[in-house]
């Protein structure tokens, strides 16, 4: 087919769209069909497939029925393993059942998938394909997960566009019922699951027409039922298992033809035609690329262009990947082909080639000649797009160009620079297939300013309100505080196949002025393009405020330049910092995508639709913003020479280490794609303490210390989530050379008499969350609104305070032996966790930071996947840091579900090595000296002094070992450090501890080994966007609990206490910081398993994050969160091990609950249910309090013995 | 047979005890019990337009805050199809109250915007309220705001509400008008069917320990009734509007005094919060006992009998009262 014909077809798509047109993303497209065509949906949240489950739950909660008029049951399970078990059970009992997952989640389903397929059960699993964690976790898309499941016996159907996601969801459902082979329907995570696109929505009639009801009845008839009982799932032996396994062959043999038959029926019913292998390109093609999913669209674009230029190329899009039909595949390929390149979006190290490549090779070996290929084509394979790496039409052309060569590279990579093993192909990044009549826009915004929601809205307006096609894709930050978003939008008259970012934009919107110094925002803008800037400087001043490089780019590209002060308007219209409507209006006013008046009317109409349900006030605020935006938008003329003296500063300072400059800094600057293979660590190992090199400057205001008012309580430092407010106590001599504005006062504590005290803020790292100011108890007596720290604008403080911070860091650290273990003194310990990317005001990180202050220099941390692994380990930079001696927390993340076991493994290795070291030391006693050896092996190491002494001994041991020439000495050298007590910590959220990891956690707690578990309990899956966990309190609204959680929170602490051998503490720093500190110290000191459950306020609670510590306090005061410590050592002393550390409930539960939107929103969505659940929750709180009180007052020891207890 | 009935804004009541706007009315059980105990009408707790606006904005903020920032958590809450962000809950409550008791139910409204006053007033009427009490108050903290402006605002609100509803409308006023009598007359002219004297404000305190200002409500003490007592006595006969007494009415004696000063009804609040709903019965019983003893067979007889116009010594209600008291004391 000529390329021009394909284009005509693409335009034809629009004219033939008869059904409802919707602009939705891939997840919604899949979930729409899945929800309409199933009865039971069992899921577990995992990025990027979570929205499919969430949408299904929302639809069922809202009463939306499936095509047979009944509302599907949607249930959230404790893990994907659990979800697949429930799916298997529901299928066996005859329900039409589905699930959604990705990555590790799919791997957990594999055992059940074998069973489901082995039992010939029809079902469709919809997979937003995501990278499986190897050297690192990645939430982004590739096929490593689905390819790991290809031995299960599921059929694989691959969608390449959002329209196909909807179409194939239905085709898979229909085919599965007929074939009795279960289907895995997959599409690219993020690139497709999160790309918004205009598509035609299938109707209920379409679905009813496609699904044969007789087949559904047959499925039900096969179900387990006591009314016609059978046994399924026997255990078989060597005599018959093999034969029984071969019985399924006819079903697999028939499957491909059934799918094609269903596709043909779909073409008749709906009008869109698909083939198992769809070929596009020159009929006499000599070079053909075989590829699955969205990458096929980028290749298709390149093929269109190259065929127009006379090249003989083509693409075969693989739809049905399993069962792989060699016959259909070979039939799809032109006989003229000379070279085939199979592109795989996965890597299988050690294999003969990646999966699709191997299948293509095999197809030709097995059936090439028979199918009429006189000479076997050369077949090469290559990898592309791992972890959502861009795959563009330029890269596709790069592959076609390689195929022209006499000896094209095999097992190549495309899209990266592999300077280590030379696999990568060169390509011309300037090659473009973007059509002139497509409006291409890039918007830079902050997560908090509403840019993405505005753009999603614009896509809807254009997609649903006009004949144009629309596409949106959004790139998010890896940090949660001050996160940057980049939106890529395309609007055009025909189907958009560009499944890659916009690199040639005719419109760039920069919604934050400060980005001009951080990112190359004008890079994607084409000559003559339009540049819209949100600027606090008006049209007359703005030119002089632009960095020189920006001015030069504007002149060179002859940019049309517009400014608006959106923040000013937002303030005036009551929108606060949300500038979405304002910037959206400006975009429509100047981009020409729609006639202006029509666009404004459409925006207002959309505001009504979006906000109508949220109150008239919100609607008016937005309307007003639209009008004011138009009045305040200015085109700015500018000179033809750059005049600015402002230079863009380097991303990191010159003195940063090589790795930071060559790798970290490039990632920070958004240039990570250009980093070659040779620069990346080979095994996922990264240096510590690199967050300090990125000066993010995201705070508008920072705390300023008033040393005269300060009572030196240490609370501000304790609660700081980012380690940006610290104090030091030092000799006055250290003040020599202090910067002019450096503040210092006398230390107040009597132990520190004669020393100086400074509280210092890191101005460029502070997020401005204000938690510190909120908890500061010291008030200025003359003006009580002021405290000992007060928020002031950061801009003018940035320079002097940076200098002060540098000076502060150089002050000596306090000798740890001279510090009392209370909050006011122990906060002098250096945090070895700083400047993480957690949300501003995060409630988890203060606990993590405290852990590193107390034990960081000998801690090893196993971190469950979740928020804490993301702010702890997501690139670009590492917040865990080492002290001046080079010691600090060693950190790793294994999986979500196995974290307790992972940390337990740390303990086993450390204990083994400590034991081995002891054995060796004893063996070498004569050489080492008995005093040293006895000291080493008998060291108590109970407190800082004990640790210090052991450190000296270990150092001495190492010195001595240097002089001993023996195998044992060398062995001992390698394990000597293990003689110093290591603090093993297992960190994770409640999703891990209460749900997916509970079994393992329980086992580890029961083991008796010295492992410290810290549960950062937000009562919700925070990282994946607020899904209910078993820690979610009753009456709280969460995803999968839209009507308020109807059941109580699991009492994990109580469960752990039943062992009697586990140290358990429930803490809330905001309620009682000394108690938190005490619990950490006791847990670490306890020679056995410890569990600390830490109340962590969270953005997912819908709270004012500045006052998070107040919410913690209210939780405790209301009795919702009793504080306690359970120490088995006390029981050994004959005392009651349980100490209740908070008072009986003294404020009504609702006073706590209704501070938080998670509870309050139920009073707005379902007031009656809110009242009912509140009443039950109140009874529960009181009952639990009484139970604890009773337990804490029980008599232990001899008395209870007498009682016979 | 002792006749305790009275007429308030044209509505016949079985006695002059009315429940003043308080949180007690938020609970249907309380409303039922108050009727059982003998209260003659119930003024519901106030619908605060500003609070609804505030809650709407708060919800909007929390549902959008932190969203679309990080790829794994593009939102944090499920989005239900609809929220009841308007006065629906309040209106449903009025409907429910009307269905469980037969005594009149009086809605209470604190508007914020001009449109809000009239819109909510209409909806309260549609919900079945027998009358409406406008809970108007401004704390004119800005030195540039004049008394005249405040007065005009009151009158504008009253007029616009009066034109939008047909049920009787009372105004609950504050005592801080420099010319109370004149203001009462203006409200009377503007169509007020009732004047409720007086509104009480939150009275902030200072927490010496924490150096914080604590806004809280102090329940009224019996001394508080002196202020409305005087003004009801003065206004009686000068305005067409019914006069309702509120503040510090705790006993039968207090009720009797207010009636004699000229009140059509007396409103109880603090005493019910402090001593329970059962107090209503006691007050009614005590009234009967006193009236019997003093040979009053109806309260119509006593209403206004001790007002400024009808009492023996009207100057006692005037400013001289204070001077004389001092003189006598000396």
DSSP state of A779: B
Mind listing the pLDDT tens digit for each residue in A892-906?
A: 999 999 999 999 999
Mind listing the pLDDT tens digit for each residue in A183-224?
A: 999 999 999 999 999 999 999 999 999 999 999 999 999 999
**pLDDT-based confidence at residue A15 (cuts at 50, 70, 90):** low
Which residues in A lie closer than 8 A to residue B55 (C-beta atoms)?
A: 1164
b/e map B94-112, b = 16+ CB within 10 Å: beebbeebebbbbbbbbbe
In a mutagenesis test of the A interface, which of B54, B72, B87, B123 is the best target, namely the one with the most A β-carbons within 10 Å? B72
B130: domain CATH number is: 3.20.20.70
- Inform me whether the C-beta atom of residue B80 falls under 8 Å from chain A C-beta atoms: yes
Return the biggest CA–CA distance within chain B.
82
Q: Do A476 and B69 touch (CB under 8 A)?
A: yes
Coil/strand/helix, residue A1152? helix
Give Cα separations from A820 to A750, A826, A945, A1008 (angstroms): 11, 6, 12, 30
Residue B303 belongs to a domain:
yes
Mind listing the pLDDT tens digit for each residue in B143-186?
A: 999 999 999 999 999 999 999 999 999 999 988 899 999 999 99
pLDDT at A614 over 80: no
Give Cα separations from A699 to A518, A715, A768, A868 (angstroms): 15, 21, 5, 22
- Span A1087-1092, mean pLDDT? 98
Residue A11 has a pLDDT of 67
Residue B1 belongs to a domain:
no
The set of residues, in sequence order, having a beta carbon less than 8 Å from that of A1179 and lying 6+ positions away, is none
Mind listing the pLDDT tens digit for each residue in A568-593?
A: 999 999 888 889 999 999 999 998 88
Q: Of A1011, A991, A1116, whose CA–CA distance to A1056 is shortest?
A: A1011
b/e map A712-741, b = 16+ CB within 10 Å: bbbbbbbbbbbbbbbbbbbeeebeeebeee
pLDDT at A841 over 90: yes
Question: How far is A977 from A848, CA to CA, in rounded Å?
Answer: 24
Q: In Å, how far is A479's CA from the nearest CA of chain B? A: 7
Q: Do B62 and A1161 touch (CB under 8 A)?
A: yes
What does B99-168 look like in DSSP terms, one character per residue?
HH--S-EEEEEE--SHHHHHHHHHHHHHTT-SEEEEE------STT--HHHHHHHHHHHHHHHHHH--S-
Token representation of residue A319: 């739809």
Residue B305 belongs to a domain:
yes
Percent of chain A, pLDDT > 70? 98
User: A215-229, A763-777, A1160-1174, B201-215: lowest mean pLDDT where?
Assistant: B201-215
Residue B330 has a pLDDT of 40
Q: Do B81 and A62 touch (CB under 8 A)?
A: yes
Q: Of A872, A1142, A883, A885, whose CA–CA distance to A1016 is shortest?
A: A872
Q: Which H helix or E strand runs over B295?
A: none
Ranked by mean pLDDT, the top range of A513-522, A1079-1088, B73-82 is A1079-1088
Residue B223 belongs to a domain:
yes
Q: In Å, how far is B94's CA from the nearest CA of chain A? A: 15
Residue B79 has a pLDDT of 80
**pLDDT-based confidence at residue B320 (cuts at 50, 70, 90):** low
Mind listing the pLDDT tens digit for each residue in A152-166?
A: 999 999 999 999 999
Q: Do A1026 and B73 touch (CB under 8 A)?
A: yes
Q: Do A474 and B76 touch (CB under 8 A)?
A: no
Measured between CB atoms, which of B65, B74, B83 is closest to A1099? B65
Residue B22 belongs to a domain:
yes
In a mutagenesis test of the A interface, which of B77, B89, B115, B209 is the best target, namely the one with the most A β-carbons within 10 Å? B77
pLDDT at A1204 over 70: no
Residue A1205 has a pLDDT of 35
**pLDDT-based confidence at residue A112 (cuts at 50, 70, 90):** very high
- Span A1015-1030, mean pLDDT? 97
DSSP state of A132: P
- Span A52-63, mean pLDDT? 94
Q: In Å, how far is A474's CA from the nearest CA of chain B? A: 9
Q: Do A1022 and B82 touch (CB under 8 A)?
A: no
Q: Which residue has the higher pLDDT, B54 or A757?
A: A757
Nearest CA in chain B to A781: B211
pLDDT at A3 over 70: no
Q: Of A987, A727, A1018, A1022, whose CA–CA distance to A851 is shortest?
A: A987
Residue A820 has a pLDDT of 95
User: A591-605, A707-721, A1172-1186: lowest mean pLDDT where?
Assistant: A591-605
The domain total for chain B is 1
Residue B45 belongs to a domain:
yes
Residue A1202 has a pLDDT of 43
Q: Which residue has the higher pLDDT, B87 or A749?
A: A749
Residue B29 belongs to a domain:
yes
| Residue A624 appears among annotated catalytic residues | no
**pLDDT-based confidence at residue B138 (cuts at 50, 70, 90):** confident
pLDDT at A1201 over 80: no
Residue B48 belongs to a domain:
yes
**pLDDT-based confidence at residue A883 (cuts at 50, 70, 90):** very high
- Inform me whether the C-beta atom of residue B206 falls under 8 Å from chain A C-beta atoms: no
- 0.90 exceeded by the pTM? yes
- Span A626-633, mean pLDDT? 94
Residue B327 has a pLDDT of 47
Annotated catalytic residue: which of A28, A54, A76, A80? A80
Q: Do A614 and B56 touch (CB under 8 A)?
A: yes
**pLDDT-based confidence at residue A122 (cuts at 50, 70, 90):** very high
pLDDT at A615 over 50: yes
Q: Do B84 and A474 touch (CB under 8 A)?
A: no
Percent of chain A, pLDDT > 90? 91
Strand partners, A116: none
| Residue A47 appears among annotated catalytic residues | yes
Q: In Å, how far is B57's CA from the nearest CA of chain A? A: 7
Residue B323 has a pLDDT of 52
Annotated catalytic residue: which of A878, A1023, A1127, A1163? A1023
Question: How far is A213 from A177, CA to CA, in rounded Å?
Answer: 9
Q: Which H helix or E strand runs over A391?
A: none
Which residues in A lie closer than 8 A to residue B76 (C-beta atoms)?
A: 1022, 1025-1026, 1099-1100, 1102
- Span B197-208, mean pLDDT? 86
Give Cα separations from A911 to A891, A937, A980 (angstroms): 18, 13, 11
| Residue A80 appears among annotated catalytic residues | yes
Residue A2 has a pLDDT of 52
pLDDT at A420 over 80: yes
Question: How far is A559 from A179, CA to CA, in rounded Å?
Answer: 58
Coil/strand/helix, residue A60? helix
- Span A1063-1079, mean pLDDT? 98
Annotated catalytic residue: which of A47, A413, A468, A865? A47
Residue A332 has a pLDDT of 97
Token representation of residue B230: 């005087």
Q: Which residue has the higher pLDDT, A18 or B264?
A: B264
Q: Of A254, A8, A26, whose CA–CA distance to A120 is shortest?
A: A254
Measured between CB atoms, which of A57, A62, A618 is closest to B56? A618
In total, chain B counts a number of residues equal to 330
Which residues in A lie closer than 8 A to residue B59 (C-beta atoms)?
A: 614, 1157, 1160-1161, 1164
Q: Is the dihedral of CA A986, A988, A991, A996 positive or negative?
A: negative
What is the end-to-end Cα distance of chain B in Å, rounded? 47
Mind listing the pLDDT tens digit for each residue in A223-261?
A: 999 999 999 999 999 999 999 999 999 999 999 999 999
Cβ A865 vs Cβ A893: under 8 Å: yes
Question: How far is A1021 from A1000, CA to CA, in rounded Å?
Answer: 18
Which residue bears the tokens 């094209």?
A: A408
Coil/strand/helix, residue A554? helix
Which residues in A lie closer than 8 A to residue B56 (C-beta atoms)?
A: 614-615, 617-618
Question: How far is A1113 from A1095, CA to CA, in rounded Å?
Answer: 10
Domain range holding B148?
A: 6-329
Average confidence score pLDDT of chain B: 90
Residue A1203 has a pLDDT of 43
């Amino acid at each position: 087919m000529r390329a021009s014909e394909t284009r005509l077809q693409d335009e034809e798509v629009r004219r033939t769209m008869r059904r409802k047109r919707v602009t939705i993303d891939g997840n919604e497209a899949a979930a729409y069909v899945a929800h309409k065509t199933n009865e039971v949906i069992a899921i577990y949240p995992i990025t990027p497939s979570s929205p499919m489950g969430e949408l299904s739950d929302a639809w069922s909660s809202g009463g939306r029925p499936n095509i047979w008029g009944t509302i599907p049951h949607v249930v959230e399970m404790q893990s994907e393993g659990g979800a697949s078990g429930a799916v298997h059970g529901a299928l066996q009992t005859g329900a039409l059942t589905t699930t959604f997952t990705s990555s590790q989640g799919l791997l957990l389903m594999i055992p059940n998938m074998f069973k489901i397929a082995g039992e010939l059960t029809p079902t469709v699993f919809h997979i937003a394909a995501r990278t499986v964690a190897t050297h690192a976790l990645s939430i982004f898309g590739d096929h490593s997960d689905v390819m790991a499941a290809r031995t299960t016996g599921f059929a694989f159907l691959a969608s390449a566009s959002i329209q196909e996601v909807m179409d194939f969801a239905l085709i898979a459902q229909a085919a599965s019922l007929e074939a009795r082979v279960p289907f895995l329907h997959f599409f690219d995570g993020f690139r497709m699951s999160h790309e918004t696109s205009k598509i035609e929505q299938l109707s209920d009639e379409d679905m009813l027409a496609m699904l044969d009801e007789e087949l559904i009845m047959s499925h039900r008839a096969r179900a387990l039922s006591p009314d016609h009982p059978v046994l399924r799932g026997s255990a078989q032996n060597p005599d018959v298992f093999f034969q029984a396994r071969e019985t399924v062959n006819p079903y697999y043999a028939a499957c491909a033809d059934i799918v094609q038959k269903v596709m043909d029926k779909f073409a008749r019913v709906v009008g869109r035609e698909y083939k198992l292998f769809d070929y596009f390109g020159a009929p006499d093609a000599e070079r053909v690329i075989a590829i699955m999913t969205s990458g096929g669209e980028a290749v298709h674009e390149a093929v269109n262009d190259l065929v127009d230029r006379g090249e003989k190329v083509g693409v075969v899009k693989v739809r049905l990947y399993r069962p792989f039909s060699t016959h259909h595949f070979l039939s799809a390929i032109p006989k003229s082909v000379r070279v085939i390149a199979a592109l795989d979006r996965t890597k299988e190290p050690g294999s003969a080639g990646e999966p699709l490549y191997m299948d293509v090779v095999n197809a030709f070996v097995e059936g090439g000649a028979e199918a009429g290929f006189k000479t076997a084509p050369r077949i090469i394979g290559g990898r592309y797009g791992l972890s959502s790496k861009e795959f563009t039409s330029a890269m596709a052309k790069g592959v076609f160009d390689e195929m022209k060569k006499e000896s094209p590279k095999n097992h190549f990579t495309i899209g990266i620079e592999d300077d280590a093993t030379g696999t990568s192909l060169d390509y011309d990044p300037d090659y473009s297939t973007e059509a002139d009549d497509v409006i291409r826009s890039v918007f830079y915004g902050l997560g908090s300013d509403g840019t993405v929601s505005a753009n999603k809205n614009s896509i809807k307006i254009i997609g649903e309100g006009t004949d144009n096609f629309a596409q949106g894709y959004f790139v998010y930050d890896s940090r949660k505080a001050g996160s940057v978003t980049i939106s890529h939008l395309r609007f055009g008259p025909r189907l958009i196949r560009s499944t890659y970012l916009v690199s040639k934009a005719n419109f760039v919107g920069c919604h934050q002025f400060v980005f001009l110094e951080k990112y190359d925002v004008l890079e994607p803008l084409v000559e003559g393009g339009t540049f819209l800037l949100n600027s606090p400087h008006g049209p007359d001043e703005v030119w002089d405020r632009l960095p020189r490089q920006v001015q030069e780019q504007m002149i060179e590209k002859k940019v049309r330049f517009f400014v608006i002060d959106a923040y000013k308007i937002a303030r005036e219209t009551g929108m606060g910092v949300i500038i979405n409507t304002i910037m959206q209006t400006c975009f429509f006013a100047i981009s020409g995508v729609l006639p202006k008046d029509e666009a404004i009317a459409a925006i207002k109409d959309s505001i009504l639709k979006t906000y109508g349900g949220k109150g008239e006030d919100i609607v008016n605020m937005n309307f007003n913003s639209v009008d004011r935006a138009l009045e305040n938008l200015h085109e700015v003329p500018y000179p033809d020479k750059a005049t600015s003296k402002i230079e863009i500063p380097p991303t990191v300072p010159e003195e940063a280490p090589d790795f930071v400059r060559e790798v970290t800094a490039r990632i920070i600057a958004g240039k990570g794609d250009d980093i070659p293979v040779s620069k990346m660590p080979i095994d996922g190992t990264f240096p510590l303490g690199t967050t300090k090199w990125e000066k993010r400057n995201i705070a508008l205001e920072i705390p300023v210390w008033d040393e005269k008012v300060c009572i030196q309580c240490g609370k501000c430092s304790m609660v700081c989530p980012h380690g940006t407010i610290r104090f030091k106590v030092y000799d006055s001599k250290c003040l020599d050379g202090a910067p002019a504005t450096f503040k210092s006062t006398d230390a107040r504590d009597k132990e520190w008499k004669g020393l100086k005290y400074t509280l210092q803020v890191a101005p460029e790292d502070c997020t401005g969350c204000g938690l510190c100011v909120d908890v500061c108890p010291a008030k200025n007596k003359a003006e009580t609104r002021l405290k000992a720290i007060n928020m002031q604008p950061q801009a003018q403080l940035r320079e002097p305070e940076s200098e002060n911070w540098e000076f502060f860091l150089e002050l000596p650290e306090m000798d740890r032996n001279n510090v009392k273990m209370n909050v006011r003194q122990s906060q002098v310990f250096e945090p070895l966790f700083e400047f993480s990317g957690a949300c501003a005001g995060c409630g988890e990180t203060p606990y993590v930071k405290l852990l590193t202050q107390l034990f960081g220099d000998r801690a090893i941390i196993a971190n469950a996947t979740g928020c804490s692994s993301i702010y702890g380990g997501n690139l670009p930079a590492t917040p865990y840091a080492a002290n001046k001696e080079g010691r600090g927390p060693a950190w790793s993340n294994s999986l979500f579900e196995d974290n307790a076991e992972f940390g337990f493994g740390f303990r086993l290795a450390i204990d083994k090595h400590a034991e081995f070291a002891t054995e060796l030391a004893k063996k070498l006693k004569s050489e080492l000296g008995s005093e040293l050896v006895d000291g080493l092996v008998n060291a108590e190491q109970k407190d800082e002094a004990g640790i210090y002494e052991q450190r000296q001994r270990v150092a001495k041991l190492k010195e001595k070992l240097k002089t001993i020439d023996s195998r044992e000495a060398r062995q001992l050298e390698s394990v000597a450090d293990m003689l110093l007590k290591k603090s093993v910590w297992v960190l994770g959220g409640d999703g891990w501890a209460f749900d997916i990891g509970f079994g393992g956690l329980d086992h580890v707690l029961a083991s008796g080994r010295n492992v410290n578990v810290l549960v950062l309990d937000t009562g919700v899956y925070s990282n994946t966007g607020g899904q209910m966990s078993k820690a979610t309190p009753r009456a709280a609204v969460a995803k999968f609990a839209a009507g308020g959680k109807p059941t109580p929170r699991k009492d994990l602490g109580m469960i752990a206490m039943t062992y009697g051998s586990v140290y358990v503490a429930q803490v809330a720093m905001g309620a009682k910081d000394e108690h938190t500190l005490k619990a950490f110290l006791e847990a670490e000191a306890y020679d056995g398993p410890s569990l600390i459950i830490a109340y962590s306020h969270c953005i997912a609670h819908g709270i004012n994050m500045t006052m998070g510590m107040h919410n913690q306090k209210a939780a405790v005061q209301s009795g919702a969160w009793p504080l306690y410590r359970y120490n088995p050592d006390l029981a050994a002393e004959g005392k009651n091990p349980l100490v209740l550390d908070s008072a009986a409930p003294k404020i009504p539960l609702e006073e706590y609950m209704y501070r938080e939107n998670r509870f309050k929103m139920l009073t707005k969505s379902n007031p009656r249910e809110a009242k009912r659940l509140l009443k039950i929750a109140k009874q529960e709180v009181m009952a639990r309090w009484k139970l604890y009180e009773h337990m804490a007052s029980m008599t232990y020891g001899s008395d209870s013995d007498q009682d016979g207890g | 047979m002792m006749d305790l009935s009275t007429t308030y804004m044209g509505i016949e009541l079985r006695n002059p005890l009315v429940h003043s706007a308080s949180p007690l009315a938020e609970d249907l059980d309380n409303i039922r019990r108050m009727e059982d105990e003998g209260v003659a009408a119930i003024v519901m707790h106030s619908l605060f337009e500003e609070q609804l606006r505030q809650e709407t904005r708060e919800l909007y903020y929390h549902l959008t805050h932190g969203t679309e920032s990080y790829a794994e958590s593009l939102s944090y809450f499920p989005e239900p199809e609809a929220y009841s962000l308007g006065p629906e809950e309040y209106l449903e409550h009025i409907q429910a109250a009307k269905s469980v008791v037969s005594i009149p139910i009086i809605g209470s409204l604190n508007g914020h915007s001009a449109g809000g006053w009239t819109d909510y007033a209409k909806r309260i009427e549609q919900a079945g309220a027998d009358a409406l009490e406008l809970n108007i108050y401004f704390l004119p903290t800005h030195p540039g705001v004049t008394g005249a402006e405040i007065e005009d605002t009151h009158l504008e609100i009253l007029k616009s509400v009066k034109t939008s509803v047909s049920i009787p409308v009372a105004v609950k006023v504050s005592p801080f008008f420099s010319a109370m009598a004149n203001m009462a007359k203006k409200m009377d002219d503007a169509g007020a069917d009732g004047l409720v004297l007086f509104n009480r404000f939150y009275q902030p305190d200072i927490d010496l320990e924490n150096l914080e200002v604590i806004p809280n409500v102090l329940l009224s003490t019996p001394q508080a009734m002196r202020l409305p007592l005087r003004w009801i006595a003065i206004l009686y006969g000068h305005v067409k509007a019914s006069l309702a007494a509120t503040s510090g009415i705790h006993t039968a004696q207090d009720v009797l005094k207010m009636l004699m000063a000229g009140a059509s009804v007396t409103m109880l609040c603090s005493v019910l919060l402090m001593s329970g709903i059962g107090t209503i019965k006691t007050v009614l019983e005590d009234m009967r006992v006193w009236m019997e003893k003093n040979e009053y067979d109806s309260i119509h007889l006593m209403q206004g009998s001790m007002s400024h116009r009808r009492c023996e010594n009207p100057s006692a209600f005037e400013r001289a009262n204070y001077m004389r008291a001092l003189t006598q004391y000396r």
